[in-house]
Amino acid sequence: MNLTKNQFKEDYVKRLTLTFAQTTTEASLEHKYLALGKLIRDYISESWAETNNYYTKKKCKQIYYFSMEFLLGRLLNSYLLNLNIRDVVKDGLRDLGIDLDTLLELEPDPALGNGGLGRLAACFMDSLASLGFPGHGCGIRFKHGLFNQKIINGYQKELLNNWLKEDFLWEIKKPEKTVTVRFGGVVNLVNTPNGIEPVYSGCEEIDAVPYDIPILGSNMETVNTLRLFSAELPEEEIDLNGLQKGDYQKFIDKKFAVEAISQILYPDDSSFQGKLLRLKQEYFFVSAGLQTILKRYKKLKESIHKFSDFVGIHINDTHPAIAVGELMRLLLDEEGLDWDSAWDITVKTLAYTNHTILAEAMEKWPYDMFKKTVPRILMIIEEIDRRFCEEVSKKYEEDYSKIDSMRIIYNGEVRMANLAIIGSHSINGVAKIHTEILKNRELHDFYLLYPERFNNKTNGITHRRWLKNANPELYKLVIEKSGPECLNDTNKFINFLKYINDDNVLQTLDKIKFKNKEKVVAFVKNKYNIDINPFSIFDVQVKRLHGYKRQLLNVFNIIYLYNQLKQNPELDIVPRTFFFGAKAAPSYYLAKNIIKLINSVANVINNDPDIRNKIKVVFLENYGVSIAELIIPAGDVSEQISTASKEASGTGNMKFMMNGAVTLATLDGANVEIYDEVGDNNIVIFGLTSQEVMDLEKNRTYNFRDILNSNPDLQKILTQLSDGTFSENKEEFKDILNHIYGEGDPYFVLKDFSAYVEAQNKINTLYENRRGWLQMCLVNIAHSGKFSSDNSIRKYAEDIWHIKEVKRGE
Ligand code: T68
């Protein structure tokens, strides 16, 4: 937008005075921040309304991305950047004696997601709007986002995340757009003059109240909407059942139970627990979202048969897969369509993304729970299942093993992935290798049945948040050197390669990285009172804590290095700082035990004078988007060391690459594609391949003892976990020991250990050659444009959603 500094100052002072009746000298920091936020909201509002009107007027096909999670991160700086007024605002505030960066730190970080899946949804929202696509988000307004992590004596403690304690600046409540969601009760199908209709009795009705957040594109034109629903008790119930009848306790209980639906985000990122409340959450936002979309569609006055020409709905993992049943219900029961027409519309409208092949993450609801909670949906799903079995048995001549593997209701459970696949016209994995595994293994039968539905869409990240916002100096350098065409097309980052032998550019890269490292040094000193060396290699593993992500492999190597240094304090290694950031699901004991181990090892190493600061270990508490924005630009080594075949894609790998880190990786998920881009000389690959892992799993031939018996270094490390080296309590690391000795090292940590140590030595050697290392960084940055979520979204738009970019005024 066009905004002069003087105009901004005038607007800002006015906003502050009108809102808080204060001048800039009297106002508290909090008020200064709020006034700025409200002013920016004003700037966005007009375009927001115009975007919506335009979509309706032109009857644009609109996409709704249904996701249980949106891990947005702070928004103020993104809005300033996307409005292209950050510099004007910064200067204007400085004139008024206010520091913009201080105000930005006051914004709460809305953590409405667990990790990769939720953050991907947020990147996609940004890309949709920035490219001018009509695409919105639909989810839940969790009162409490992902727990805040506190480390106490090395243990993770979970604290309630209360991000809504203060008003959230960016949401607008829309009570007039409330819809009703029905749960439970009994449904009977009754013959009426209009045909068979469901008659409900004894169900519970809940209000889904929308809160809208503007998603502003960097094109400064498009403002899409993220609509999050909050569960409330309908007002009539408050009057009837509550206060007037004097039955106060009943009323309180009911209110509590209803509001519970949008109270808290489940903190499990990769395991499924069949909790009733979770099923309610899923149906709640899906039903609310679909009802809203249908209402909006009616305003277009188009035939319901054309629904999928105007609407596309995306199912982000199986959490919203119940949309298959709910859309069918709305089309059959509310719109009065026949089965075949409703089914045709449903399949054409829906598309599904799979994010995992881990068996323990698959959603399978107990039949009885499903029936009790959403009886009408179950009836419909049973009919979908019946028809599906009929179709398949015709095709495969009663090959029951095929039917059993694919049908929806099986063994007393409702299988949500099967429902999503049968009810969608597109099924995609999130990296090439992941999609191949789906097609050839996990979903092979479905692939044979519907080959045309399967496609790959490799994940991406928005460079606007992960480069422009998080690492502005590097962004400026890339744009300056690679040309303005990069602004609209990150594939042009590749022009940066021209500077591979330009010492000035390499030196500038070095300086930018160093400054970013100094910021982390100051942060760590201030927060943990640990001194770290900005000249050391910053070796970073930040992601959720999970066995398959193998933080344990990383720690084992650190212990190994420690043992080496103890034996030989003169050992010639480049000083290193190992950073970890990771939350563990509260009931995942192994993961929590690994956090304790990292902290115990850190405690010993950081305080051992023999080590002479050659290595340090830092655990960054409460890892989330804001900490990521600090640490990723400072990373030298990006640890992407999952057991091959387990990490569907990973997106942190892309963020580090874009910020000029060198990836140390297994050939898993999108690491494979990063490797293909940068080539053998600009990445360090080690370990078992996916095929090798899958073979070992299939043949059950892996015996960790074979490795252990032949590797005294590993024997020593395992002994140290119970001999008092890292904890006086010799039982302290029993979950980890049980993971190896009891479970047999299911993620092949011991198997890949030697290869990992070797790869780490290679990193050491590579880093010693400063120029060579900087060249590797440059190559990585130049190739990172390929992994922009703009590219992913363009492909979703073209292949799956069939939507076009919208330019207002055309
Ligand atoms: C991640 N999945 C994948 N799940 O692990 C990662 N799960 O490889 C991929 O890059 C990313 O998705 C984006 O595609 C998740 O993050 C969850 O967060 C999750 C949450 C609830 C239940 C199950």
**Is 51 in the active site?**
no
- Cα 511 to the chain's mean position, in Å? 31
pLDDT tens, residue by residue, 383-421: 999 999 999 999 988 788 999 999 999 999 999 999 999
**Is 655 in the active site?**
yes
Q: What is the reported pLDDT for 399?
A: 82
| In the block, residue with structure tokens 């720690």 | 555
Nearest CA to ligand 1 atom 20: 269
> Distances from the Cα of 201 to the Cαs of 183, 198, 655, in angstroms?
11, 10, 52
At 561, the pLDDT band (50, 70, 90 cuts) reads very high
3-class secondary-structure state, position 269 = coil
At 721, the pLDDT band (50, 70, 90 cuts) reads very high
pLDDT tens, residue by residue, 243-283: 666 678 888 899 999 999 999 999 999 899 999 999 999 99
Both tokens of residue 696?
């070992």
Number of neighbours of residue 670 by Cβ within 10 angstroms: 28
> Distances from the Cα of 287 to the Cαs of 181, 346, 663, in angstroms?
6, 14, 42
Position in ligand 1 atom list of the atom nearest CA 114: 18
At 240, the pLDDT band (50, 70, 90 cuts) reads low
Q: What is the reported pLDDT for 612?
A: 87
Mean per-residue pLDDT for 463-470? 98
**Is 543 in the active site?**
yes
| In the block, residue with structure tokens 């008020």 | 31
Q: What is the reported pLDDT for 236?
A: 76
Q: What is the reported pLDDT for 235?
A: 84
Using only C-alpha atoms, what is the Rg of the chain? 27
pLDDT tens, residue by residue, 518-543: 999 999 999 999 999 999 999 999 99
CA gap 399, 390 in Å, rounded: 12
CA gap 568, 649 in Å, rounded: 39
**Is 651 in the active site?**
yes
Percent pLDDT > 90 in the chain is 94
Catalytic residue among 364, 463, 465, 655: 655
Q: What is the ipTM of this complex?
A: 0.98
Both tokens of residue 87?
């510099």
Those residues whose C-beta lies under 8 Å from the C-beta of residue 14, and which sit 6 or more positions away, are: none
Number of neighbours of residue 383 by Cβ within 10 angstroms: 15
- Cβ 642 under 6 angstroms from ligand 1: no
Q: What is the reported pLDDT for 810?
A: 61
Mean per-residue pLDDT for 352-367? 96
Both tokens of residue 569?
């304090």
Are 414 and 408 in contact, with CB atoms under 8 Å apart? yes
> Distances from the Cα of 407 to the Cαs of 45, 355, 387, 417, in angstroms?
47, 20, 10, 10
- Amino acid letter for position 426: S
Q: What is the reported pLDDT for 245?
A: 63
At 456, the pLDDT band (50, 70, 90 cuts) reads very high
Are 717 and 563 in contact, with CB atoms under 8 Å apart? yes
Are 363 and 273 in contact, with CB atoms under 8 Å apart? no
Mean per-residue pLDDT for 311-315? 98
Nearest CA to ligand 1 atom 12: 117
Q: What is the reported pLDDT for 220?
A: 84
Q: What is the DSSP string of 711-746?
A: -HHHHHHHHHTSSSSS-SSTTTTHHHHIIIIIT--T
- Cβ 137 under 6 angstroms from ligand 1: no
Lowest-confidence segment of 203-207, 233-237, 620-624, 778-782 by average pLDDT: 233-237
Number of neighbours of residue 529 by Cβ within 10 angstroms: 7
Are 711 and 747 in contact, with CB atoms under 8 Å apart? no
At 238, the pLDDT band (50, 70, 90 cuts) reads low
Q: What is the reported pLDDT for 193?
A: 86
Mean per-residue pLDDT for 198-222? 96
| In the block, residue with structure tokens 């099924």 | 427
Q: Which residues does residue 665 pair with via DSSP β-bridges, in sequence order? A: 640, 685
Q: How far is the CA of 121 from the centre of ligand 1 (A)?
A: 10
Q: What is the reported pLDDT for 22?
A: 92
Q: What is the reported pLDDT for 247?
A: 78
- Cβ 648 under 6 angstroms from ligand 1: yes
pLDDT tens, residue by residue, 87-99: 999 999 999 999 9
Q: Looking at residue 788, what DSSP letter applies?
A: B
Catalytic residue among 119, 439, 543, 616: 543
Position in ligand 1 atom list of the atom nearest CA 118: 18
Of the residues 140, 269, 319, 672, which should be mutated to test ligand 1's pocket, given the most ligand atoms within 8 Å of the CB?
Answer: 269
Query: Domains of the chain (ranges plus CATH)?
Result: 59-74+109-424 (3.40.50.2000), 470-526+536-727+745-794 (3.40.50.2000)
Of the residues 69, 142, 270, which should be mutated to test ligand 1's pocket, given the most ligand atoms within 8 Å of the CB?
Answer: 270
Mean pLDDT of the chain: 96
pLDDT tens, residue by residue, 111-137: 999 999 999 999 999 999 999 999 999
At 808, the pLDDT band (50, 70, 90 cuts) reads confident
- Amino acid letter for position 749: V
Q: What is the reported pLDDT for 355?
A: 98
CA gap 496, 492 in Å, rounded: 8
